[in-house]
Structure 1
């Protein structure tokens, strides 16, 4: 028979062994988990629950979505341009050799300012022909008057009078033609009529502005078909934008254009639609939009030829909006989170619309109560909920 003392001793040994195991296990120190969501219960497909401590660590803030006024807009791209009357390609209507080039690309020049000078034997010959024709015209005019006097007295022959009239008319036409040609070349006609021939032609700028290109150097032989300089006046720059066919019908004169380009700095450049093209162009079927920048100070930040990305505001409406950080973007769609019970958040897919001033338009793809939407902390919730979805097994 087993005694009571024996049973008592056996029980004490069992208790001692249990205490020893507990003590050994208590010596192991658990390392802290860096992820504030690591201790949560396993999330469902579209719902996740966190503890109060985890919520504080993530910084989750909730609040209602707002009804805001948003602008409907279409995207356009294009370039900065100037009207044709404010840009010029300069050539010279006579062959010659470049003698001087006093300007450089980027230099400002006034209208009529000298861009280069040209030596031309043809020019010298033209001046000589003009002076000879003027001299001949004077003689022929005197002869014509003499023949008219003789004819009136029935002394001269009628044929001689007619010949004098023909020669005078022909020489007068030559003088007028040479006079126009020389004036076109910028000749000082008063000095020439006094017998002062010039050996060089001044090539001048037809507009005030900036020299954008120079295609000549000293000693170069040039012809009338050569473009020697390009000059642009930047006082009247405008926007030439292209809009695709699907959006063309939305654009109207007077609508606002916004330029948010990194090249232009942080400030938004604003403009206005001035003209809307009446025909589609090219294989892409785009229409040309002509816009003016509203502020002259902002206009001076533009450079002709600069490529631009623009938005044209075509109207406004009321829509549901959230702060941009509340929407986890996935292309044109995304997800938001709403609190359905204390510390439990549900994932709601949404369609993303216009974004402006830090807020983004959203349209839930299924019914949802947006009175307690996660305004801050949506991205950590999304990361935890989707953790492991992209991992290969």
Structure 2
């Protein structure tokens, strides 16, 4: 009897444990079923076709299109000075004159001598037609005329040096001398800069060398003008690279009619390497697996399917799609970690 009673107790205990386990298992099973059927909250976006601009940024320095120092070619007193600092001058305009009394006198003297020698030359030419002995005298006179003519040309050149003119149109810099001062040969009088076009010199890594060509568009900004951009084009590419930095120097040209940009300015350069229409998606939509790229494309019934894509160029936040998607396709950009093919989604956010 006691043995039967003990077996009954064990049966009751086992049944009780099975019942308690069932009570714990049933809610979990229901939760798993709900999880299996619940939609996953994600954010999506559509494949867009829009311009893709690939560019490279660099720091550059402003350079005048033409820039020279106007110097005294010889030593003498300054008799005239026409420097309006910071003002525009035309090509050929007189900037300064040195005292040229001696030079003018020398030119006048040689002009008189040359005139007399030419008259004597004319008489000898007439005489040589009738007297053979006059030919040697004629030759000597021709030599004298040529020698005097050379001396006159040299004197005129020296006289011309006493007048300093602008070799091109531009803007005068600061005056370095005063009228009446005695200057030595090589003394800087002022500077002249052609600012109608400003060149910008900047360096680009050799990685981009094959992509850069003259005429490519670029823009520059400067701290003095905030977010205002100045447009220009690549004008020249150096034939040599810096062997230390492995960069190539590029020159750009910018129209500067308002003279807001100045030589020596630090300029932020953005060089546009490529600008074309391309099909693009957000970089966040990509799911890399080994050497391939995938996205989760949204189907008509709000389920997703993993789709392999071929990508092209990248730019911050966006990537070009070469194949695998069509314009207007919808892809998941956030919440990808919880997805697999066939899962139903619920769109949230923007």
TM-score category of the 2 structures, normalised to the smaller one: 0.5 to 0.7
Give distance in 2, aligned partners of 1:373 and 1:308: 45
Which residue in the other structure is 1:81 paired with? 63
Which residue in the other structure is 2:139 paired with? 162
> Of 105, 108, 111, which aligns to 2:88?
108
Give distance in 2, aligned partners of 1:282 and 1:213: 38
Give distance in 2, aligned partners of 1:374 and 1:238: 51
Give distance in 1, aligned partners of 2:181 and 2:46: 70
Task: List per-residue Cα deviations over 1:328-360 (Å, max 9, x = no partner).
Answer: xxxxxxxxxxxxxxxxxxxxxxxxx744xxxx4
SS at match of 1:278: strand
Structure 1: give runs of 5+ residues left out of the alignment.
1-61, 186-200, 324-352, 377-393
Cα distance change on mapping 1:137 and 1:74 into 2, 3 Å: same
Contact 1:77 1:241 in 2 (8 A): yes
1:142 aligns with 2:119: yes
Give distance in 1, aligned partners of 2:132 and 2:231: 84
> Of 63, 66, 73, which aligns to 1:93?
73
> Of 193, 215, 220, which aligns to 1:232?
193
Give distance in 2, aligned partners of 1:257 and 1:375: 37
Give distance in 2, aligned partners of 1:313 and 1:258: 8
Give distance in 1, aligned partners of 2:75 and 2:219: 48
The structure carrying a bigger strand percent of its residues is 2
Give distance in 1, aligned partners of 2:207 and 2:149: 63
SS at match of 2:240: coil
**Post-superposition offset of 1:221:** 2.8
**Post-superposition offset of 1:367:** 6.0
Which residue in the other structure is 1:51 paired with? none
Cα distance change on mapping 1:203 and 1:254 into 2, 3 Å: closer
Give distance in 2, aligned partners of 1:230 and 1:134: 35
> Of 106, 124, 131, which aligns to 1:129?
106
1:301 aligns with 2:281: no
Cα distance change on mapping 1:230 and 1:145 into 2, 3 Å: same
**Post-superposition offset of 1:278:** 3.1
Cα distance change on mapping 1:271 and 1:158 into 2, 3 Å: closer
Give distance in 2, aligned partners of 1:241 and 1:274: 12
5 Å matches for 1:176-215? Answer: 176-182=153-159, 184-185=160-161, 201-215=162-176
Which residue in the other structure is 2:236 paired with? 275
1:312 aligns with 2:292: no
Contact 1:214 1:228 in 2 (8 A): yes
Give distance in 1, aligned partners of 2:230 and 2:139: 73
Contact 1:213 1:231 in 2 (8 A): no
Question: Any runs of at least 4 consecutive aligned residues in structure 1 with deviations exceeding 6 A, and if so which?
Answer: 369-376
Cα distance change on mapping 1:90 and 1:282 into 2, 3 Å: farther
**Post-superposition offset of 1:128:** 1.6
Give distance in 1, aligned partners of 2:243 and 2:171: 32
Cα distance change on mapping 1:216 and 1:292 into 2, 3 Å: same
Which residue in the other structure is 2:302 paired with? none
Give distance in 2, aligned partners of 1:372 and 1:361: 24
**Post-superposition offset of 1:238:** 3.0
Structure 2: give runs of 5+ residues left out of the alignment.
1-41, 285-313, 321-332, 340-344
Which residue in the other structure is 1:256 paired with? 217
**Post-superposition offset of 1:243:** 0.7
Task: List per-residue Cα deviations over 1:102-121 (Å, max 9, x = no partner).
Answer: 424312222233323322xx
Contact 1:88 1:207 in 2 (8 A): no
Contact 2:87 2:172 in 1 (8 A): yes
